[in-house]
Homo-oligomer: A and B are copies of this chain.
Amino acid sequence: MKILEGKSITDISGIKASGIVCGIKKNGRKDLCVVFSEPKAVAAAVFTTNKVKAAPILVDMAHIQSGNIQAVVVNSGNANACTGEAGLEDAKEMAALTAEYLGISPQEVLVSSTGVIGVPLPMETVREGIKAACAALSKTGGMDAAAAITTTDTCTKTITVETQVGGKTVMLSGMAKGSGMIHPNMATMLSYVITDAAVDKAVLQKALEESVQDSYNMISVDGDTSTNDTVMVLANGAAGNTPITGFGEDYLQFREALDYVNVELAKMVIKDGEGATKLIECTISHAASVSDARLLAKSVIGSSLVKAAFFGNDANWGRVLCAMGYSGAAFATETVDIFFESEAGCIQLMRGGQPLQFDEEAAVAIMAQKLVRIKIDMKDGSAGATAWGCDLSYEYVKINGSYRT
């Protein structure tokens, strides 16, 4: 597997995209994107487990059944969530209009929306936008598309890799958006991975469902699971590889690349978490089971008190152990080792469940870096997991105290 710099989804064979200013956002930024695969493609998707599902999610849950998915239309600035029957009609119309301009059927289009909850979509504006975005589709529009799906994000989030599948080079390129209401459960805010690999639809779905467990489902900005979380993979087969129909060597090659793309996008979402000043990576090793390891890692990076301590460079490891304690995982404190590590060094704070003396100045230096690792050795088994979070800053409160205004 090779990482390709400076590429985007439109570098994938057969993919065109566009991202335009449609006028939903008040700040004049790009807010509507269309992605189109000229070859027929199969799609896999996972959606939020929130009982309150946005209208586009309901539409996509039906459309994803289609054997062919050739287009995705996304607007930012308005989530089309909690908008009742009218919102559902609006989401259906977004798919129908996109299908009409592209000469495909509505069931072959997936729809996403992200932004403020509970406000009707300005459909006059959206209709004009879809028309313009379909007209603007090009082989150079990938970065515009990545920009058009963002909301409070401070940067676009893209990653492209290539790998070998059945003697052919296949490419995977992903784009995602954050950056608040991030506590995915079976899915994340919005993330799209496009590949020219030929993959059986059922195999693609299984690959995605497994891949999200250790990527998007292991991140949290604020503990709030969104109504709009969506991860999609489109595979159009343009690479000409023998289709992946089982779980052999080709599948594993593809999975490695898919996992890499998903983990990198998930980390980008966290790095750009609302108000975040640093990335916190918590790795659990030697846990009794993978599910225990995941619970422990996610509880630590989800704790408001841990997050605030990291913002203040305060090596308050007691809060780390406390968050492990209420995670729901089974473990014995007597064997726990805890380390904080970054470019500035590594300190051990607890050994075998007993607190250690440590150099406070060294701890502050370690925590003041942009990426700080919490490494926890449970000495209780052979399972592990890693979760990613961000610190809790004044800026998070500021952004979310006045989101709609």
Q: List residues of A (359-405) whose CB comes within 8 Å of B's CBs.
A: 392-394, 396-405
Interface range on chain A (Cβ under 8 Å from partner): 35 or more
- CB of A331 within 8 Å of the partner chain: yes
A400-B84 CB under 8 A given contacts A116-B318, A119-B355, A322-B181 = no
- Check B355 against A82 for contact (C-beta < 8 Å): yes
Distance in Å from the Cβ of A367 to the closest Cβ of chain B? 11
Task: Provide the residues of chain B in CB contact with A117, threshold 8 Å.
Answer: 316, 318-319, 321-322
- Per the bound structure, the CA–CA distance linking A149 and B393 in Å amounts to 29
CB closest chain-B residue, reference A305:
B224
Stretch at the interface among A38-46, A47-55, A94-102: A47-55
Contact between A402 and B314 (Cβ–Cβ < 8 Å)?
yes
Assess whether A308 is interfacial by the CB under 8 Å rule: yes
Asked if A324 is at the interface (CB within 8 A of a chain B CB), the reply is yes
- Number of copies of this kind of chain in the complex: 2
* B-chain residues with CB within 8 Å of residue A52 when the two chains form the complex: 321-322, 324-325, 333
- Pair B51/A401 contact, Cβ less than 8 Å: no
Q: How far is the CA of A308 from the CA of B349 in the complex (A)?
A: 33
Q: Is A258 interfacial (CB 8 A cutoff)? A: no
- Quick one: CB contact mask for A76-95 with B, threshold 8 Å, 1 for yes? 00010111110000000000
Cα A225 to Cα B324 in complex, Å, equals 10
Given contacts A303-B224, A321-B82, A326-B50, contact A308 B404 (CB under 8 A): no
A313 to B405, CA, bound (A): 10
A191 touches B (CB below 8 Å): no
Question: Counting CB contacts under 8 A, is A353 at the interface?
Answer: yes
Does B225 lie within 8 Å of A326, measured CB to CB?
yes
With contacts A308-B400, A400-B304, A402-B314 known, is A51 near B326, CB below 8 A?
Answer: yes
Residues of B within 8 A of A232 (CB): none
- Min CB distance A17 to B, Å, is 29
Nearest-neighbour CB distance to chain B for A163, whole angstroms, equals 35
Q: Which residues of B contact A315 (CB under 8 A)?
A: 404
Residues of B within 8 Å of A312, CB to CB, are 400-403, 405
Instruction: Please list the 7 inter-chain residue pairs (A to B) with the smallest Cβ-Cβ separation, ordered nearest first.
Output: A312-B401, A117-B318, A52-B325, A308-B400, A118-B318, A50-B325, A225-B326
Q: Which A residues are closer than 8 A to B by beta carbons?
A: 49-53, 79, 81-85, 116-120, 180-181, 183, 185, 222-227, 302-305, 308-309, 311-319, 321-327, 329-331, 333, 349-350, 353-355, 392-394, 396-405
Given contacts A116-B318, A311-B397, 10 further A-B contacts (CB under 8 A): A50-B326, A51-B331, A52-B333, A118-B350, A120-B355, A224-B304, A224-B323, A304-B396, A312-B403, A314-B402
